[in-house]
Chain A
Amino acid sequence: MTHRNFGRHDWLGLTPEVERFGPLLVDRITAALGESQDALGEARVGALIRNGDAAAWLTYLGALTALVDRGSQSGVAVAETEILAEILRDQYRLAPGVLVLSETDMARSNHLETLLETR
């Protein structure tokens, strides 16, 4: 019996929706929060896809999840925050099909599920 070995590049299958919507949502949420946009911008997503790996991607998702938290706590850019939360929730739902989630990632996943259930 063989156990599933995730391909080294399988995680790239997760990225399109984040690449398409993430930067714009991040721009709007950070602007509403009065934060700098540089650290989470479009160039960073592109760089991650070109040069990153699964761990870097999960780190990035973690940073976006923290942004969702800040947005939802401050009550600004509500619609954008909710959409980003949905996209991230799906990322964590899809991720077990291509990589192993750490406990930290699982906690982020559960947090997003709860956040969206109680909105």
Chain B
Amino acid sequence: MSTTRRRAKPTRAGGAPLTLNAKAYADPLMFERERREIFARAWIIAGHVAEVREPGDFTTTNIAGEPVVVVRDVDGTLRAFSNVCRHRAAQLASGTGSCGKVLRCPYHGWTYRLDGTLAAMPEGRGFGEDFDRDAVRLPEFKVDTLGGLVFVSMDPEIAPLREWFGDIAVRLESLNIDQLVPVTRRDWKPREIVRGVPDALRSLSLDDAKALIPTAEHGRWYEEFNHNWKTLSDNYLEGYHVPIGHPGLLRMLDYPKYKPTLYERAVWIDGPLRDNPSRDTMERLYQRLHRPMPEFPAELRNQWTYVHLWPGQFIDVYPESIDIWQMQPLGPLRTRTCEIAFRSPNETLQDRFVRKINRRFNSEVMDEDVTLCDAVQQGLGSLTYTRGVLNDNEAAVGHFHDLLRNAVPGIDDAP
């Protein structure tokens, strides 16, 4: 065996940390390694505890390309399985809901007990007497809950959830997400929006109100982007671009006080809101009307908080709602994001309206970010650019890149 050690690429220039090698943002081999060595070895959010409260309740997600179903077994045990039928690979369950006492494949009807074992298959005698049906079971994954969220890991050797996330676990619990409820399509009622808005906006037409309503599938919003998942993540993790790229956000956030705190596998970013009224009508309306959910932690009431959980999970903590935004890499230059939003079960019409203003406002921020990420993704393909340097305000990006270097050795080594 060779004892030659590969020399690690320098990660600092002068005093400034260096970004990741640009080649890592478009490399198909690196994409495959990231799926296996990062996403398949992490704890990934699968849903909210309320979605799997009763026996038979299930929720689904996708981890590292693996369809996953989390289901409450008849004995009350929470279990996570590959959501892939062992017969012809069809996905067993979709969305969220209750499957009763069994998971039944919609293709040929293979039927699994909620402990993952095969109960029976239609026309079972057609598989021959030697076919060992008792040996068929859905691969099972680790599952646990933290702060009202259900996490799954495909790695059988991974550390327990709380230990893996370390000190951020306590802060996650402080958000009281367990007391909130997922936002679903039924939460968006345009006529109520129009009726419930303050006088200043009563002129809003029904069509305009409907335009504020995003489409939701079982409480999840999916979007696909032509970016590497790390491009989107890098952008989320730093506020350095806010004054340039997001003028509206700069009016809302007290930028000099924007402060990231780094954890072992997480980042917590405090974004205090300004006291002064914005010049923009909608922003001013938000400032005037927003009030924290009763369940919301007092110390976060005057700020927007952004949380990153390794590898690609982001939590926007607003006083009136909490949104989870997850990366599901589909290819080196294709990423699906899954959003789950939570609101107070005691939400009033005013709160709902404020949440809608926030959603519209942050949709504009998202549009601005997509434009910026388009530009970055193009630039990362440059023949003349390999890596850049990071500002103090980009410390969370540097932290993220260090985690990537540790998780995928050689990620920086492309020529």
Partners in one complex: yes
Chain A residues within 8 Å of B, Cβ to Cβ = 1-4, 13-14, 16-17, 20-21, 86-87, 89-90, 93-94, 96-98, 100
Question: Which residues on the B side are within 8 Å of A1 (C-beta)?
Answer: 50-51, 57, 96-98, 184, 218-219
Docked CA distance A98–B104 (Å) = 8
Question: Which residues on the B side are within 8 Å of A98 (C-beta)?
Answer: 104
Chain B nearest CB from A25 CB (Å) reads 11
Question: Which residues on the B side are within 8 Å of A86 (C-beta)?
Answer: 125
Chain A nearest CB from B122 CB (Å) reads 6
Q: Taking A2-B218, A94-B111 as contacts, is the C-beta distance between A87 and B125 under 8 angstroms?
A: yes
Taking the complex as formed, is B100 at the interface, i.e. its CB lies under 8 A from any CB of chain A? yes
Docked CA distance A86–B129 (Å) = 12
Q: Taking A1-B51, A1-B98, A3-B98 as contacts, is the C-beta distance between A97 and B125 under 8 angstroms?
A: no
Question: Which residues on the A side are within 8 Å of B103 (C-beta)?
Answer: 97
25 contacts between A and B (CB under 8 A): A1-B96, A2-B95, A2-B96, A2-B98, A3-B97, A4-B98, A4-B99, A13-B122, A14-B122, A17-B125, A87-B125, A90-B120, A90-B121, A90-B122, A90-B124, A93-B119, A93-B120, A94-B104, A94-B111, A94-B121, A94-B122, A96-B101, A96-B102, A97-B109, A100-B100
Query: What is the number of contacts between chain A and chain B, taking CB atoms within 8 Å?
Result: 60
On whether the beta carbons of A17 and B122 are closer than 8 Å, the reply is: yes
Question: Which residues on the B side are within 8 Å of A97 (C-beta)?
Answer: 100, 102-104, 109, 111
Question: Which residues on the A side are within 8 Å of B132 (C-beta)?
Answer: none
On whether the beta carbons of B51 and A13 are closer than 8 Å, the reply is: no
Chain A nearest CB from B371 CB (Å) reads 36
Greatest chain B CB density within 10 A among A4, A17, A96, A97 is at A97
Docked CA distance A94–B218 (Å) = 26
Interface size band for B: 20 to 34
Docked CA distance A20–B123 (Å) = 9
Question: Which residues on the B side are within 8 Å of A14 (C-beta)?
Answer: 122
On whether the beta carbons of B98 and A94 are closer than 8 Å, the reply is: no
In the complex, given contacts A1-B98, A1-B184, A17-B122, what are 11 additional A-B residue pairs having Cβ atoms less than 8 angstroms apart? A3-B97, A4-B97, A21-B125, A87-B125, A94-B104, A96-B101, A96-B102, A97-B102, A97-B104, A97-B109, A97-B111
Map CB proximity to A onto B376-397 as digits: 1 under 8 Å, 0 otherwise: 0000000000000000000000
Chain B nearest CB from A88 CB (Å) reads 11
Question: Which residues on the B side are within 8 Å of A2 (C-beta)?
Answer: 95-98, 218
Docked CA distance A89–B124 (Å) = 11
Question: Which residues on the A side are within 8 Å of B124 (C-beta)?
Answer: 17, 90
The 8 A-B pairs of least Cβ separation, nearest first, read: A97-B104, A93-B120, A90-B120, A93-B119, A3-B98, A96-B101, A2-B97, A97-B111
